Amino acid sequence: MRQTENALPLASGQGFGPHLMLDCSACNLEKISDVAYVFDVLNRLPDLIGMTKITQPYVFPYSGLVPEDKGVTGLVVIAESHLSFHSFIEKDYFFFDLFSCKPFDVETARQFIVDAFEVKKAETHYVERGLDFPRSEHPAAYALSAGKTLTTMNHALRDEPVPVGV
């Protein structure tokens, strides 16, 4: 698998927050075109990395002006920011973004998406955004406890069906 970096850092919390972006191709076409499956993946990931969902995933099929651009689009609003997914089925391609104002394990999030969609080619982009953002000093609000991370990881990886819709 190709990626732009060899190892991704645990988001440092130095700026406003980490932004993980994936440009993926050579994936499982059934999975990137399945609205229910994309919903399930987007529903599980926030728990896995210790984020707080404000909404259930909003996932829908997309068919626009360019016929071969049809695919699935999904968005999850989290207290820390958002996750988004956009697939282009006929082009065997999807984009995934995860932006957060709270540090998270970037490699865990990346690997979860790559595994979920059976990605064989991924370009990984990582940016620490807002390096000069004036942060408040409340370290407890951004700390991740190891016990909670393990618990949420076990929960997120279970193969339980998740209902589609809001």
For the chain, give every domain's residue range. 17-154
> Which CATH number is associated with domain 17-154?
3.60.90.10
3-state class (DSSP) for residue 10: strand
3-state class (DSSP) for residue 21: strand
Q: Which of 29, 4, 18, 135 is nearest to 80 (CA)?
A: 18
The pLDDT value given to residue 139: 53
Low-confidence ranges of the chain (pLDDT < 50): 1-11, 142-166
The pLDDT value given to residue 137: 67
The encoded tokens of residue 57 equal 């995933």
The pLDDT value given to residue 138: 58
pLDDT digits (tens, 9 = 90+) for 109-149: 999 999 999 999 999 999 987 677 776 765 555 444 333 33
